[in-house]
Chains A and B, each alone.
Chain A
Amino acid sequence: MALIMNVMYAKAIGITQGIIGREVNSDMWLSTVLGILQGVAVAYIVAKLMQYAPEFSMVEMAGKLIGTWAGKGIAVLIFLFFLGTFATVMVTFVYHLMDYFLPEAPTILFVVAALMVGLYGAYHGLEVMSRMAFVGVFSMLTLNILVLFGSVREMDVRNILPVMDSGLVPTLWASRHFDTDWAFAVMLIALLLPHVKRSARLARVSAVSVGLAGISIVMWPIMESTVLSAEATSQYIVACMQLARSAHIGLFLHRYEMIMIAFFATSSLIQVMMCLFCASLSASKLLGLKDYRPMLLPTGAILGAFAYWIVADHMRAMEFTAHQWPLISLPIVLGLPLVIGILYLFFKDKLKANQTPS
């Protein structure tokens, strides 16, 4: 649950909201709510599907259903999914730290530092990352409370009215940007089910996790719209930092975004770890390896190089995150479970014949 909440959070509160704001203005919070509802439904359906063969991940399931090469094809797709996800995670991580705190530091420094921490966490495995994710959830809640205390006096509810001003269809369409955030969580569910002990409750837990993450996220577009105004929010690449640097508690506690960024970074680094872990896992399935660890360094090198190329240019990064990535990630995250589900209907006897995962 903690892992799912963490992987959705960091990008969704800032970068995503700025992008949604540019499309639907003050309906950004509504678009996020619609995205949450879609996320809850998809997470539930995917987890239910995975429960038909809880000992297999999605790659293994595809392999058993239609053959090894098809399984490898699915592994490539999942690897590409995490390659793109890692780029958007790094856009979030790097621009928060570099643009607001260390503008003179070279971009490569942030990419290398995130990779080092990410590889360290991924190397120690899922249990260590899960424990870390509990700290991440604490960080998310603390960050939410800090920004709420610092902004509540500046809120003007008139800024989010009228509701659905942009119309239902544009608001729903804009939710695709938030969908890319829960897409990471759904992929996680599809890959990690064999590692979960009490998989029987997974569908409900997955849906609840996405819902809880959504609740902690939706506070941000509401605050960004009511405090900064939707028009101002949509001007910025990292909208949440604009809110954070405007926050103040009373007269004496100003500019505490340095404290907030520490909590944010904890959650963001868990995204980095999970990306590296999942990409290495799919790479190991592709090469037929039993352990994912030998793939960590090469995967880190590929993901790091691609992410560096993306974040080195702000305009390229935003073009990729806002325009290209939703069109790549959503077909993968919605299409894969659909294809596997259809295959399962036709070849479920074949799957049941296999007792152990490959």
Chain B
Amino acid sequence: MINRTMLLAVSLLMLIMSSGCLGKQEINDLAIVTAVGIDNGENNHVKLSVQIVRPADARGQTGAPSGGTGEPIYSIQATGRTIFEAARNLARFSSRRVYWAHNFVIVLGEGYARKGIADMIDFFTRNHELRMTTWVVVTPEEAGQVIATITGMEVVPGEAIDKLFRYNQIVAEAPGTNMMRLQESFLAEGTEPVLAKVQLRPRGISNKNPDQFGSLDQVVLSGAAVFEGDKMKGWLSPSEAKGLLPFIEEVDSEIMVINCPDDSNNHATLEIKSLEQRVKTRFVNNQVKVQVAQTANANLVEMGCEQPFTEIKDQMTLALKQKLENQVLKTASAAQKKYKSDIMKIGQVFHNTYPLEWKQIHSEWNRYFEKAEITVSADAKISSPVLKIQRFVKGDGLSLKSK
């Protein structure tokens, strides 16, 4: 009898508890955010722009589908004293609940980034909806304008920027900075945050007016923004960003254009297939010395030189080595002299090598980093001319024997 009563009581309790779905969110009640832009507003306010996808119009077809508007995205903007207040203010005119879980990218305006991004990092890492793999970028333009610009073949701009990052590794001119990596570098001692740079450039050609080259703005991912603490200090050029990448992430591929040994007006292009880097630090006479050693393996992918590859291979290898070394030194110069910010994770390497010394100098690490002596040695190998042995020259026999 007791068992039956218990069973009945438990069943009733379960029935009561299952009758409502607490915290439910119907998909057609949600405004799915795919990109966020943050700029400075007036009166010390934050201007938050969000790009919301219209599911009915973002199915990949052209023109307005039945019941749709033809506009795949709906971009709105609100201001507030904090990001959360601005996000809540969006609800004043958004007919659906703003939902962050599918956000691809957070675009920060330069002015906002220079003022400090600590509150942005806190908001987005405290929010359980947001993905930690969301990309974070800085733009010299208005962030709200960047997120509303349709780029590439995607109908949703946020998705386009996501794919720019996905295939950015073949260009290797901007770091792949997501919220997880940003939070890590922001909190860690011995390294400073660096974020990818995006900007609008007239790179698109209108199908209707093909003669008007550059009539369409496209979002270009190239370069990087340097921070010290949470404040942006300046920009790295694409080539400086290229030199930075092996210090902060794995480089899968990049290209190097070198002058031909006999004619500097002609060029050969090398595709680096693997780039390994080792960084060692020494502490001598209260000065930090940094040794960077790179080992690159490249393929010849385009030959503009007149001389046969087999004859100039050694000279090309030497040119590649010098190019790699100069690239790192250029980045180091920008980090040490221009920005005085350790974006190269040298402090982390020093901390791992000299933990006791680090405890004494970590509070003034930037001063030590600024004066650190950085030497670079590159070892390169051009292992393959891919499909052809040498450049095609009219009338030539194309055989190794003839050379």
User: Which residues on A are within 8 Å of B, measured CB to CB?
Assistant: 99-106, 109, 112-113, 116, 120, 154, 158-159, 161-162, 165, 227-229, 231-232, 235, 242, 245-246, 248, 251, 254-255
Contact = CB atoms under 8 A, between A and B. Distances in A.
Contact of B23 (A105, A245, A251, A254): A105
B13 interface: yes
Contact of A229 (B10, B125, B187): B187
* Most chain B CB within a 10 A radius of its CB, from A162, A229, A242: A229
A311 to B, nearest CB: 17
9 contacts: A105-B22, A112-B13, A158-B352, A162-B355, A229-B187, A229-B188, A232-B180, A235-B125, A246-B132
Contact of B180 (A159, A165, A228): A228
Nearest to A255: B131
A91 B395 CA distance: 81
Interface in B13-29: 13-14, 17, 22-23
A229 B132 contact: no
A242 B126 CA distance: 10
Contacts of A106: 22
Given A248-B133, A255-B101, A232 B184 contact: yes
Given A101-B128, A112-B17, A229-B183, 5 more contacts: A100-B128, A113-B17, A116-B14, A162-B352, A232-B187
Contacts of B293: none
Contacts of B17: 109, 112-113
B166 interface: yes
B349 interface: yes
Contacts of A161: 352
Given A161-B352, A162-B351, A229-B188, A102 B180 contact: no
Interface in B216-259: none
Contacts of B180: 154, 227-228, 232, 246
A242 B351 contact: no
B133 A231 contact: no
A116 B188 contact: no
A169 B365 CA distance: 27
B132 A242 contact: yes
B184 A228 contact: yes
Contacts of B131: 245, 254-255
A245 B101 CA distance: 11
B274 interface: no
A248 B22 CA distance: 28
Contacts of B351: 162, 165
B333 interface: no
A99 B23 CA distance: 12
Interface in B347-399: 348-349, 351-353, 355
B135 to A, nearest CB: 13
A165 B351 CA distance: 9
B13 A104 contact: no
Nearest to B355: A162
A105 B345 CA distance: 43
B20 to A, nearest CB: 10
Contacts of A99: 128
A99 B127 CA distance: 10
A104 to B, nearest CB: 4
A149 to B, nearest CB: 15
Interface string B1-43: 0000000001001100100001100000000000000000000
Contacts of B128: 99-101, 103, 245
B252 to A, nearest CB: 12
Contacts of B125: 235
A255 B130 CA distance: 10
Contacts of A109: 17, 22
A232 B184 CA distance: 6
Interface string B60-71: 000000000000
Contacts of B353: 162
A112 B17 CA distance: 10
Contact of B133 (A105, A228, A254): A254
A316 to B, nearest CB: 20
A120 B355 CA distance: 53
A325 to B, nearest CB: 25
Contact of B184 (A102, A112, A231, A251): A231
Minimum-distance CB pairs A-B, first 3: A231-B187, A104-B23, A246-B132
Contacts of A232: 180, 183-184, 187
Contacts of A159: 184
Interface string B132-146: 110000000000000
A150 to B, nearest CB: 11
A246 B10 CA distance: 38
Contacts of A235: 125, 187
A269 to B, nearest CB: 15
Contacts of A231: 184, 187-189
Contacts of B352: 158, 161-162
A116 B184 CA distance: 40
B132 A251 contact: no
B158 to A, nearest CB: 14
Contacts of A162: 351-353, 355
Contacts of A105: 22-23
A251 B188 CA distance: 27
A38 B263 CA distance: 71
Contacts of A112: 13, 17
A158 B133 contact: no
A259 to B, nearest CB: 15
Interface in B65-83: none
Contacts of B345: 158
A228 B349 CA distance: 18
B349 A251 contact: no
Nearest to B181: A154
Contacts of B132: 242, 245-246
Contacts of B101: 255
A149 B22 CA distance: 32
A161 B128 CA distance: 29
Nearest to A251: B166
A165 B355 contact: yes
A109 B17 CA distance: 8
B200 to A, nearest CB: 26
A85 B348 CA distance: 39
A161 B132 CA distance: 24
Given A162-B351, A228-B180, A104 B22 contact: yes
Contacts of A113: 17
Nearest to B349: A158
B355 A102 contact: no
B34 to A, nearest CB: 14
A165 B188 CA distance: 14
B22 A102 contact: yes
Given A228-B180, A246-B132, A255-B101, A116 B10 contact: yes
